[in-house]
Structure 1
Amino acid sequence: MAETLVRFEGVRKTYGAGGPAAVQSLDLDIARGELLTLLGPSGSGKTTTLMMLAGFETPTEGRILLEGRDIAHTAPHRRGIGVVFQSYALFPHMTVAENVAFPLSVRGVGRAERDDRTRRALAMVRLDGFADRRPVQLSGGQQQRVALARAMVFEPPIVLLDEPLGALDKALREEMQLEIRHIHQRLGVTMMYVTHDQAEALTLSDRIAVFEGGRIRQCADPTMLYDRPADAFVAGFVGENNLLPGIVASRDGDEVSVRLRCGPVVTAQAADCGGTGEACLVAIRPERIAVADADASDLGERAQPATLLEAIFLGDHVRLRLAFDEGGEVLSKRPAGIGRLPAPGGPISIAWPEGAAVAFRDASTKV
């Protein structure tokens, strides 16, 4: 078990007397050397959590421990934490080297050591030849690299990144995701990363904490989070999912039979799921739904009859909109160029492998 570097204990944050809690009952450990991503929709509490660790917000209740020391009421500049903002926050009148060296200058590091560490930090982010340029002479991705080098040059125990790639275009954002991941893997620096981009979180993270309503709904590694979400919110928020309402027909240990409201009875793994007769949602990833000819000979006994409503070509894959014969729609994805499809309106069969469907309690539905 890796050593715990940061610990949130019973942390709560409210704004104003009697106001709603932006963060509530937060207990979270960050291991030394891991990259933990806080993922969630706007207003879910993820940025507030980061800002409390950085020192720009003070918790209403609870403790925040850094290397065993409570820093909840310590000034930001006394925490020794590196922070990278979406806006870069570079000094326009300084050169790249001067920007990176700034945290060392304010800490009184001598000139020779400062120059050496600045040079190594720029090499780390592949900006060796840019030391004498001004921020205005750099692209957005290069400016973000400078901000990252500046946050890491003084070797902080943890680096916080608050949606640092939000201002970049798609191609550059994906390039920088890999850049950050490789830097983390190479140096083993601890990072907390905030984003609302699910693909970004899956690409970067050792673990992902999914926030909603000021609480963590699930904290797990990307594979577990994607394949075994803890509840319907996580299933619907992380990646694309078909969420089909139904009623639990029977339960056998960790497996349930569910009669979908659109007709078919299907088998699913029981996650946060009630007992017989209770409302539930069955989650099935689009890429797990296979399609075949209407005779279903390729899909076996799990096949369900359906109708192809629409097929949209998206380059590397085709997105299919399908309807069960008794009503209700699902989405499927299949690699482009694999097999032939009927014309829209034509019959088709669909199936998914055992264990691909997961059932959750549907708190929004009354039976």
Structure 2
Amino acid sequence: MADPLVRFEGVRKTYGAGGPAAVQSLDLDIARGELLTLLGPSGSGKTTTLMMLAGFEMPTQGRILLEGRDIAHTAPHKRGIGVVFQSYALFPHMSVAENVAFPLSVRGIPRAEREERVRKALAMVRLEGFADRRPQQLSGGQQQRVALARAMVFEPPIVLLDEPLGALDKALREEMQLEIRHLHQRLGITMMYVTHDQAEALTLSDRIAVFEGGRIRQCADPRRLYDRPADAFVAGFVGENNLLPGTIEARDSEDCTIRLACGPVVTAQAVDCGARGESCLVAIRPERVAVSGVTASDLGEGALPAILQEAIFLGDHVRLRLSVGDGGEILAKRPAGVGTLPEPGGPAAIAWPGGAAFAFRPPPARV
């Protein structure tokens, strides 16, 4: 990235002498106008990364550049960065307008300009008629909008959002995801967003950086991350995947022939796997698995015999669990009302398109 707004260069963060690293050798650029999401499980380093950019944590080593200036040891209030927390952090004794105006007041912005900026900020988050209310008079979604307006009212170069929707119910959370996405698209604000929710990351992001063990495992746009995961961790963490253990019987630069531990032989793209004779995991998305009722003699080329164990109706789709070979199990999804299925306990055939399966090295065992 030629001229990033933010750049992390070799950033590392440890707690205590000789303690484990919360963030390890982090190199990451954020483009101007980008919405970058840091995604990962608890303890993966994503929130620590955000806190180091905000100034609430200091890196143990490395540089953090904002518009080309090293801010790694600059006080938080001198960085000019907007931050939105999960708890909203609104002042209960202040009105909505006073909360939004607070960053302008501490910067010495004249009153007339403050009032105009607050008016525009509240209109931006659709709270024009709420200026005189107190936070406790607002719903959770309205409080989150106030926190967003306050973070953006002083026109910071970047806004950081640390799991801002975690306290909301599912319906409101999904509504706010789209609102943040549309706000970003309309205003072109640079944002760094932290979440452990894969669906939220896919909905919001221009790019997603997947964290695990203090490192970025993959950073890509949502479509590439979902369709072309870089390793077994990303394949298993982003969305739902069948991860089937097996052994490589043959491979070239592009494909592997793999004997699954449950018996069948399949072909998969060689993304991050070893040599012949080594163990691997085969990843196939459930929605790519086609299922049909069939007898063993009717199997087409490339199809595997299976037994349908259960079919669970989930409204817009049916979730299928099938046994394969000697103790293997595969999940499949199909749109509700499309085609017919065998009865549970009956024979089936499963297949997937070429290029839908990927072969990865098994992740190292955790000690």
**TM-score (ref. length: structure 2):** 0.97
Matches within 5 A, 1:59-138: 59-138=59-138
Following superposition, the deviation at residue 295 of structure 1 comes to: 4.3
How far apart are the structure 2 equivalents of 1:155 and 1:76? 16
How far apart are the structure 2 equivalents of 1:364 and 1:45? 19
The equivalent of 1:143 in structure 2 is: 143
The equivalent of 1:53 in structure 2 is: 53
How far apart are the structure 1 equivalents of 2:325 and 2:276? 25
The equivalent of 1:155 in structure 2 is: 155
Percentage identity across paired residues of the two chains: 84
The equivalent of 1:329 in structure 2 is: 329
The equivalent of 2:34 in structure 1 is: 34
Letter in 2 for 1:48: T
Following superposition, the deviation at residue 197 of structure 1 comes to: 0.3
The equivalent of 2:3 in structure 1 is: 3
Q: Is the 8 A contact 2:292 2:342 kept in 1?
A: no
How far apart are the structure 2 equivalents of 1:165 and 1:295? 49
Q: Is the 8 A contact 2:309 2:321 kept in 1?
A: yes
Consecutive unaligned residues of structure 1, counting only runs of 5 or more, are none
Letter in 1 for 2:339: G
After superposition, give the CA deviation of every residue in 1:3-37 in whole Å (9 maximum; x if it has no partner): 30000001000111111100010000001100000
Following superposition, the deviation at residue 341 of structure 1 comes to: 1.7
How far apart are the structure 2 equivalents of 1:149 and 1:298? 62
Q: Is the 8 A contact 1:2 1:31 kept in 2?
A: no
**TM-score (ref. length: structure 1):** 0.97
Letter in 2 for 1:157: P
Q: Is the 8 A contact 1:307 1:325 kept in 2?
A: no
What is the CA RMSD across the aligned residues, in angstroms?
A: 1.4
Q: Is the 8 A contact 2:232 2:363 kept in 1?
A: no
Q: Is the 8 A contact 2:307 2:323 kept in 1?
A: yes
| Closer/same/farther in 2, CA of residues 122 and 299 from structure 1, 3 Å limit | farther
Following superposition, the deviation at residue 325 of structure 1 comes to: 3.5
How far apart are the structure 1 equivalents of 2:278 and 2:322? 26
Following superposition, the deviation at residue 119 of structure 1 comes to: 0.6
Q: Is the 8 A contact 2:233 2:363 kept in 1?
A: no
After superposition, give the CA deviation of every residue in 1:135-179 in whole Å (9 maximum; x if it has no partner): 011000000000000000000000000000000000000000000
Letter in 2 for 1:281: L
How far apart are the structure 1 equivalents of 2:133 and 2:332? 49
Q: Is the 8 A contact 1:292 1:298 kept in 2?
A: no
How far apart are the structure 1 equivalents of 2:157 and 2:297? 58
After superposition, give the CA deviation of every residue in 1:346-365 in whole Å (9 maximum; x if it has no partner): 10111000000000012558
Which stretch has the larger CA shift, 356-365 or 217-226?
356-365
How far apart are the structure 1 equivalents of 2:9 and 2:227? 28
| Number of residue pairs the alignment of both structures matches | 365
Q: Which runs of 4+ in 1 moved over 3 A?
A: 295-300
Q: Is the 8 A contact 2:283 2:359 kept in 1?
A: yes
